[in-house]
Amino acid sequence: MRRDDREVGRYGAAMTDRAEALALDLLTRHDGAGAAKISLELVTTGMSEAAVFRATKKGVAPRYVKVAFDEAAPILRDEIARTQWLAGHGIAVPHVLRVADRNDGMAVLMAAIAGVPADVSPLSTPRLIAALAQAVKALHALPPATCPFDETLAARLGRAQAAVDAGAIDPGEFEPHNRDAAPADLLRRLRAAPPHEDIVVLHGDLTLGNIIVDADGVCALIDCGNAGRGDRYTDMALLHADIVAHRGKEAGAAFLAACGVKHWDAAKAQYFLDLYELF
């Protein structure tokens, strides 16, 4: 297995070995004897206690294995459930091939998605904006009453509170306008003035990097662990800001227009961007 020293350093060599063993066990159960020809590469870490491997074998399309242990295992289990729910409702997401749910860890084998992350897509800005808007509209058109996963403000503020209480938020990672705010103070400000919610089915972490776009402009969503029913600005504020950062203000305006947004509530968008600081 080829390793990126930076990623191993973040995850820890001993934990990487443990994660690799579980990944190989899952691949063996899925591929049988053919698993011996698989090459595993640690490509990135996901949540703090999870690892992602790229599995390659001659003649087989690349696949990915995500592995988590201890307190991260139920988080990965929940991500799998949310991903499969979206898939069952017609949203393009990674196809789950096999799951290993054991006392000592959790692993999922997923098919690779054709394309590249939207933040590095070579598509022209008009084509990319059209593709992104189509994907967002399809997701937000799903009936929220049928979605069992809660991403409303009450749920997200509750998770933010748990993270703040655990000391898991680094204010050094905040955007400049929040850099002088303590996490607890930012959370109190957000709790004091929650906006009215417009509930849809959302992704919950909708950055350009979590959208895979192919050469034909077809989009798929990855890292769906925060998908559920919640305010549409949870997605719209984050993706709009990312589009502006990568493609400019005109592209951001074009995205809103393509999504049919007639009035953009900049104050509400900023609220959800500030809330994202705590995730």
Q: Residue 31: pLDDT above 50? A: yes
Across residues 78-105, what is the average pLDDT?
A: 95
pLDDT of the residue at 56: 94
89 plus 130 within the same structural domain: no
70 is catalytic: no
106 plus 122 within the same structural domain: no
Q: Residue 4: pLDDT above 70? A: no
- Of 17, 119, 205, 235, the active-site residue reads 205
Token pair for 156: 């997200």
List pLDDT tens digits, range 110-160: 999 999 999 999 999 999 999 999 999 999 999 999 999 999 999 999 999
List pLDDT tens digits, range 14-28: 678 899 999 999 999
**Where a domain ends, among 77, 92, 111?**
111
89 plus 219 within the same structural domain: no
> Regarding beta strands 228-231 and 199-202, do their DSSP bridges make them parallel or antiparallel, or are they unpaired?
antiparallel
What is the rounded CA–CA span in Å between residue 101 and residue 19? 13
| SS3 state of residue 190 | helix
Domain coverage including residue 96: 2-111
Q: Residue 44: pLDDT above 90? A: no
List pLDDT tens digits, range 202-218: 999 999 999 999 999 99
65 plus 171 within the same structural domain: no
Say if pTM beats, i.e. exceeds, 0.85.
Answer: yes
CATH number at residue 252: 3.90.1200.10
| SS3 state of residue 96 | strand
pLDDT of the residue at 10: 53
Number of domains in the chain: 2
pLDDT of the residue at 12: 65
What is the rounded CA–CA span in Å between residue 142 and residue 202? 9
**What element of type H or E holds 22?**
helix 13-31
**Where a domain ends, among 96, 111, 126?**
111
Across residues 175-202, what is the average pLDDT?
A: 97
Do 231 and 272 touch, CB atoms closer than 8 A? yes
Any idea which residue has 């077809």 for tokens? 218
175 plus 248 within the same structural domain: yes
CATH number at residue 14: 3.30.200.20
105 plus 164 within the same structural domain: no
What is the rounded CA–CA span in Å between residue 32 and residue 181? 53
**Where a domain ends, among 81, 111, 141?**
111
84 plus 206 within the same structural domain: no
9 plus 95 within the same structural domain: yes
37 plus 135 within the same structural domain: no
132 plus 101 within the same structural domain: no
Mean pLDDT of the chain: 93
Counting Cα atoms < 13 Å in the Cβ hemisphere of 113 gives: 22
DSSP per position, 140-181: HTS-GGG---B-SHHHHHHHHHHHHHTT---GGGS-GGGTTS
Kindly indicate the confidence band of residue 239, based on its pLDDT and cuts at 50, 70 and 90. very high
126 plus 46 within the same structural domain: no
56 plus 130 within the same structural domain: no
Q: Residue 219: pLDDT above 80? A: yes
Give the contacts of 211 (CB within 8 A, at least 6 positions apart): 117, 118, 132, 135, 219, 220, 221, 222
Q: Residue 48: pLDDT above 60? A: no
